[in-house]
A and B are shown apart, each in its own frame.
Chain A
Amino acid sequence: DVKVTQSSRYLVKRTGEKVFLECVQDMDHENMFWYRQDPGLGLRLIYFSYDVKMKEKGDIPEGYSVSREKKERFSLILESASTNQTSMYLCASSLYRSGANVLTFGAGSRLTVL
């Protein structure tokens, strides 16, 4: 089974800190994604990447950046964390199967910004 591993399950950071959320997948998937999930708002796409060093903005990229230096690793960066970035962050990678795209998600990283 493909595994998507997020480095931290829970983080607490202070306003203004730089935050790195790391995600690693072990099945050579081309595509990787970062979502955030908030009560009442569902999952919202922040950034995604088709390949190494490539990135595309999702629906809510403001305040975030990403890095994909290696195929298996996709990092989400909060340059200067703010309280409105307190959220559950979900990383996913996708498998192209039978003409459709299937996402495998990590367990999530719950970030609290104080």
Chain B
Amino acid sequence: DAKTTQPPSMDCAEGRAANLPCNHSTISGNEYVYWYRQIHSQGPQYIIHGLKNNETNEMASLIITEDRKSSTLILPHATLRDTAVYYCIVRTQGGSEKLVFGKGTKLTVNP
């Protein structure tokens, strides 16, 4: 599986958009990009995933560059409850179900 690189930490003001970057320069054509987050003392929570096109759901938007070497998770109006560690993962479609979590980005939303 392709490796990912994320900044270790970011800050965001409450009510503003939080843009979390992820580099995955070795991604291959059939690898999906997944985002999860983990709020302190809880299990990780799935947010969104995508292959080539940009995706949006009730939680976030995922923007994938045309060359697919990087992506950005966007929380459009961050709240204090969005303070968490955000993990970007790339994974092959089908096959083994194993997901490898890196160290993620610690997002702190400030009042």
Contacts and interface: CB of A to CB of B under 8 A. Distances in A.
Interface of A: 4, 31, 33, 35, 40, 42-43, 45, 48, 50, 56, 58-59, 90, 92, 94, 99-108
Contacts of A101: 91, 97, 99
The SS class assigned to the A binding surface is strand
A10 B105 CA distance: 26
Nearest to B34: A100
B28 to A, nearest CB: 14
Nearest to B97: A31
25 contacts: A4-B43, A33-B98, A40-B103, A42-B104, A43-B101, A45-B98, A45-B100, A48-B98, A56-B96, A59-B100, A94-B97, A99-B32, A99-B51, A100-B32, A100-B34, A100-B93, A101-B97, A102-B46, A103-B99, A104-B46, A105-B44, A105-B45, A106-B43, A107-B43, A108-B43
Which 8 pairs show the lowest CB-CB distances between chains A and B?
A105-B43, A43-B101, A31-B97, A100-B32, A99-B93, A105-B44, A42-B103, A102-B46
Interface residues of chain B: helix, strand, loop or mixed (majority): loop
Interface residues of B, number: 23
Given A94-B97, A108-B41, 17 more contacts: A33-B97, A33-B98, A40-B103, A42-B102, A43-B101, A45-B99, A48-B97, A56-B96, A59-B100, A99-B51, A99-B94, A100-B91, A102-B49, A104-B46, A105-B43, A105-B45, A108-B42
Contacts of A40: 103
Contacts, number: 56
Contact of A92 (B41, B43, B91, B104): B43
Nearest to A4: B43
Contacts of B91: 100-101
B95 to A, nearest CB: 9
Interface string B20-62: 0000000000001010100001111110010100000000000
